Structure 1
Amino acid sequence: MSWMRRPAWWSVLLTVAGALLFVRLGFWQLHRADYKDGLLRRYAAAAAAPVQRFDDVVDHLSADTYPRVRVHGHYLVDRVYLLDNPMHDERGGIEVYAPFLPDGHRRLLLVDLGFLPGNGTRRRPLPPPLPVGPTTLQGLYQPSPGHGLEMGGDALARQSHWPKNTIYLDMKQVATDLQHVLFPRLLVLDPEPATAYMRRHRLDFGAMTPARHRAYAFQWFTFAFVAVVIFLVLHRKKRAPGRPRDEST
């Protein structure tokens, strides 16, 4: 090409390698977005699916399924966990979790009772008492929300009074705190008009939603385009300066 200088081999290699890497990362982000869109569709379908017996699905469960189950057992009524960080609106509030022992099992099932709205003050709302004795629960059996880095280590181990407060739901910490084995997933209860809790079935991806993955894909594709443009600009031939005009007559 007459308008380009001959590039060094290493500059061509770096540009091609960089552009291919950025494109590959972009397509990987698109793949993750499509995968999570599929999870959301299956999750939405599960919320309206027929109810199954907990014992029929708990040991025969694939990673990407979210069965709606009914389970019989009883709560450990004196063991409640309050998740402090969710914000459904400007009033704040808490997400309430309680361990439940299904009939015929030795493992505990952690139950998400729902979101208890605050009143706009710093005073934490108090969860209603749990039912005592045999209880039947119904909801989605799903993975627990991810947890981040909790500064200061395990906050549950430092608390001696119930209910206990936490800013992340760490299933391993809860199992250690209860000194009991937990089922690997938790039960998110179905909405119920008569309860004080706000319940909404949702699959929590944290910050990495499908839309965020697509935004990152666009970013990586832009990097690939910019890498090629920079290569072309740096290797463009400079125009020769024009010859001075002869002003003699």
Structure 2
Amino acid sequence: MSALRRPAWWSVALTVAGALLFVRLGLWQLHRADEKEALLRRYATSATAPLQAFDPVASTPPETAYPRVRLSGRYLPGRIYLLDNPKHDALGGVEVYAPLQRAGHERLLLVDLGFLPGNGTDTAPQVPALPAGDVTVQGLYVPPPGVALEMGGDALAQQRTYPKKTIYLDPAQVARDLGRPLYPRLLALDPDPAAIYVRKHTLDFSAMPPSRHRAYAFQWFTFAVAAVVIFLVLHRKRRPRARSSTSRTP
């Protein structure tokens, strides 16, 4: 004899659809975790990869690779951008960016010079002057940092002097500020022990690291199990209560 009551068709359909949806979402979260871990491994490997020419990857960089390139050009004098979003130093600090002009090219390449540690105050660190004349630079050709909603509009357009400071580095804002188009990625310079800048570049998955994707996957799988358990509990047969007999005395 079955321990379950015969369920309505819609309750079966709803339970199956819900459980399948939760399982699918859990599998998607696991897939995203694996993707990000693969990107992090690829990024770490790229840091020691052989140098290659910039032109073949300049306009159409590979989606899931980070070429290590070398090129020459000139920094635009005085054009410096500070990302006030410290991640390397408990005392604060800024990530420093400068546009590089390549000879014979209209587009500018935004170069990540590195992180300049702060001193625990609200005053931005003193940024060294950019090198004059032709320079040769090398590093990873990487996507720009993520852009979020910045309250107050274009922060760069509201400033009249350089270096300009922002909490989100939006390449579109930088291009408008310079009046020149930018390459789709930026150049994160290789570490240099002699440089004043700290160059510990990594992909920014702090908001959603692989471990959090796996935690969400466990949560979705738990929802799938819960949907089935609730269905079974609601449709189990209940045992009839035994009637209590009262004895009468003559």
- Shorter-chain TM-score tier: over 0.9
TM-score, L = length of structure 2: 0.94
The unaligned stretches of length 5 or more in structure 1 are: none
Aligned length: 249
CA distance in 2 between partners of 1:101 and 1:9 (Å)? 68
**Using the alignment, how far apart are the partners of 2:89 and 2:230 within structure 1?**
46
Q: 2:63 is matched with which residue?
A: 63
RMSD of aligned alpha carbons: 1.6
Q: How does 1:132-211 map to 2 (within 5 A)?
A: 132-211=132-211
Asked if the contact 2:144/2:186 (under 8 Å) is kept, the reply is yes
TM-superposed deviation, 1:245: 5.4
- Partner-residue secondary structure (3-state), 1:158: coil
Structure 1 stretches of at least 4 aligned residues deviating more than 6 Å after TM superposition: none
The CA deviation at 1:246 is 5.3
Number of the residue aligned with 1:29: 29
Query: Matched residue of 1:73: which SS?
Result: strand
What secondary structure is seen at the aligned counterpart in 1 of 2:109?
A: strand
Contact 1:146 1:206 in 2 (8 A): no
Deviations 1:130-187 (A, max 9, x none): 1111111111001111110011111111111111111101111111111101000000
Separation (CA, whole Å) in 1 of partners of 2:19 and 2:171:
41
Q: Is the aligned partner of 1:73 residue 2:73? A: yes
- Name the structure 2 match of 1:12: 12
TM-score (ref. length: structure 1): 0.94
Q: Counterpart in 2 of 1:213? A: 213
TM-superposed deviation, 1:35:
1.5
Q: Counterpart of 1:51?
A: 51
Moved more, 202-211 or 68-77: 202-211
Calculate percent identity across the aligned residue pairs.
67
Find the aligned partners of 2:99 and 2:60 in 1 and give their Cα distance: 22
User: What CA distance in whole angstroms lies between the structure 2 residues aligned with 1:178 and 1:80?
Assistant: 11
Checking the alignment, whether the CA contact within 8 Å between 2:72 and 2:135 is kept in structure 1 is yes
Deviation string for 1:193-245 (max 9, x for gaps)?
11111101211234122222111111111111111111111112223223325
Which SS does the other structure have where 1:157 is aligned? coil
Give the secondary-structure state (helix, strand or coil) at the position aligned to 2:241: coil
Counterpart of 1:110 in structure 2 is: 110
SS in 1 for 2:185: strand
Counterpart of 2:212 in 1: which secondary structure? helix
Aligned to 1:97: 97
Aligned to 1:232: 232
Unaligned runs of 5+ in 2: none
Provide, for residues 53-90 of structure 1, a one-character-per-residue CA deviation record: whole Å limited to 9, x for no partner.
22243246321111111110110121111111223232
Which amino acid letter does the alignment assign opposite residue 132 of structure 2?
V
Distance 2:164 2:131 in 1: 19
After superposition, the C-alpha distances for 1:88-133 in whole angstroms (9 at most, x for unaligned) are 2320111111101123322100011111111122222121111111
* 8 A contact 2:89–2:118 mirrored in 1: no
1:2 matches 2:13: no
